[in-house]
Structure 1
């Protein structure tokens, strides 16, 4: 049985709507209606969707009160004052990103939505544009010594939620405690054929050969145990759209398990697919829920199902 978790949904912040008095800085203004302090006010107004994100806004110097930059959490506010949230340098830097967008950023982590076709990190061709390279450039605009650390990967043709750490200590903590800190990993898969079961669980042992092809067996042959839960969203005569939840996170797990049940992921020639109307792999990392590595807060990051998946499963 799959575990259910209560969680706070983290959505991408809307772009600020107005122009601040400072040149080229976009802002959103909030009117103070009763005496309070700055941090509680920002939380009440939901300027960001988590306490960590709100603190980051203060730390970066994005908050102005009646035209004065304020970073103190307990700064007193009076009725009639205007609190302005200035688009940070990060928001301006994000405009230069290609094939990725930032879902969440704080002092410890960056969470992105990666498009299909974008490499997660370095390939044999050092000139390839990668998510890692872009984010490294992105954080170094704040400080030249800033770094980014890969916590996990998505295949080049898999899109969706991906997590990076901002320090080696955070990366190590996440990787060494991945099974306990990651509370939910959900993918959306467009697969070939009509999946008959409304929901089911696949359990097998996965092994990889020298050609980097992963094989599945129903018995323990010394490989890694892999457990995949799936639920049918909808289907037509050609394709089925599935919600797939990982209990374990093995290499190519979903792709191998879909081939095993006779419904390979669309566009996945390596694991049995014979058609590719999407011109990409029919796999998208929709949801990632984690225990935040420094605050201990349970956070959930979500992205929308790609429209083309919905189109081909009508």
Structure 2
């Protein structure tokens, strides 16, 4: 799966680095036509349209609104300010004499505008009407279970999209383990989620991880194939019997090694729960810091697994996108002289 070429013709390919900026952009023609069924549900902003005004000259917020908003009296506008329905450049403002500068955007919403909350443990690499691509730090849960109430990527991104509209949501496409860092993405509508998950093998062209494992791997590259099952203690393992469980295939290539550790580039042909972690234990080289799957090393203070590359076809535009995240320095430091 990882080495196949895109089958669609006239596709634009864009590559992004971990900061979210385009690294290169090449075009063999126009990108694929948008899919109307996905576009129609990609955003819910039109459910309650907000009024937007561009500041032409310096003014105070209340005076500006009284002058430009039609159909509302001064007291109604004061009430809207008090309820947090007014924002300046996307940030909710309630102070009547807040100073406005030329070029700023003032928005009056029918709903309370959620305050901006700093994101913890993640960075947004790319966002549009259909998807959000992020870099997740090690230690942050992707999605919490019903019993877990802590901060997660899912909850933070939900709050992020609801700053634009209180009914906006995000939808899970795939997950990274809590202690795995790197690139992952969410959908911004159920239609996009279903579209991508139903054709996951066709639309996802590359999922590459960097794995720091214990011991010196002698074989420069290899493929691990097994049938994965989950024990009663919620630990995944490779069944000794064919067709017993979910088939999992992992390809690896050796990047660096010394007497104590090996750094691998790992490509997934399938995406099973804890797949890389199980397969590394199977070959006798557990991932550093992965006590659950046989590791005895705590050299980097975290799990030695990082989602470095995610490449996929955009569900609306048909453009092939590729996002990269640099290998953690804590991994590389173990190979310095």
Length-normalised TM-score, structure 1: 0.73
Q: 2:28 aligned with 1:9, yes or no?
A: no
Q: How does 1:113-124 map to 2 (within 5 A)?
A: 113-124=135-146
Q: 2:199 aligned with 1:193, yes or no?
A: no
Kept in 1: contact 2:223–2:252 (CA 8 A)? yes
Of 272, 276, 280, 2:298 maps to 276
C-alpha distance in 1 between matches for 2:144 and 2:244:
30
Q: 1:289 offset after TM fit, Å?
A: 0.6
Provide Cα deviations, 1:34-55, integer angstroms capped at 9, x if missing partner. xxxxxxxxx99xxxxxxx9xxx
Length-normalised TM-score, structure 2: 0.68
Kept in 2: contact 1:94–1:101 (CA 8 A)? no
Provide Cα deviations, 1:66-108, integer angstroms capped at 9, x if missing partner. x9xxxxxxxxxxxxxxxxx999x9xxx9881110001111110
Q: 1:127 offset after TM fit, Å?
A: 3.5
C-alpha distance in 1 between matches for 2:104 and 2:277:
43
Q: 2:250 aligned with 1:228, yes or no?
A: yes
Kept in 2: contact 1:228–1:254 (CA 8 A)? yes
Alignment CA distance shift 1:177-1:4 (3 Å): closer
**Poorly superposed stretches of 4+, deviation over 6 Å:** none
Alignment CA distance shift 1:147-1:313 (3 Å): same
Alignment CA distance shift 1:124-1:275 (3 Å): farther
C-alpha distance in 2 between matches for 1:264 and 1:210:
21
C-alpha distance in 1 between matches for 2:333 and 2:279:
24
Q: How does 1:1-314 map to 2 (within 5 A)?
A: 3-5=3-5, 7-11=13-17, 12-13=19-20, 96-124=118-146, 126-217=148-239, 219-314=241-336
Structure 1 unaligned runs (5+)? 15-42, 45-51, 53-58, 68-84
Give me the CA root mean square deviation.
Answer: 3.2
Larger gyration radius, structure 1 or structure 2: 2
| Corresponding residue SS for 1:132 | helix
C-alpha distance in 2 between matches for 1:141 and 1:290:
27
C-alpha distance in 2 between matches for 1:265 and 1:256:
9
Q: 1:214 offset after TM fit, Å?
A: 1.2
| Corresponding residue SS for 2:124 | strand
| Corresponding residue SS for 2:219 | coil
Structure 2 counterpart of 1:73? none
| Corresponding residue SS for 2:205 | strand
Larger RCO (alpha carbons 8 Å, 6+ apart): 2
C-alpha distance in 2 between matches for 1:196 and 1:305:
22
C-alpha distance in 2 between matches for 1:253 and 1:144:
37
| Corresponding residue SS for 2:301 | coil
Alignment CA distance shift 1:218-1:3 (3 Å): farther
Q: 1:175 offset after TM fit, Å?
A: 1.1
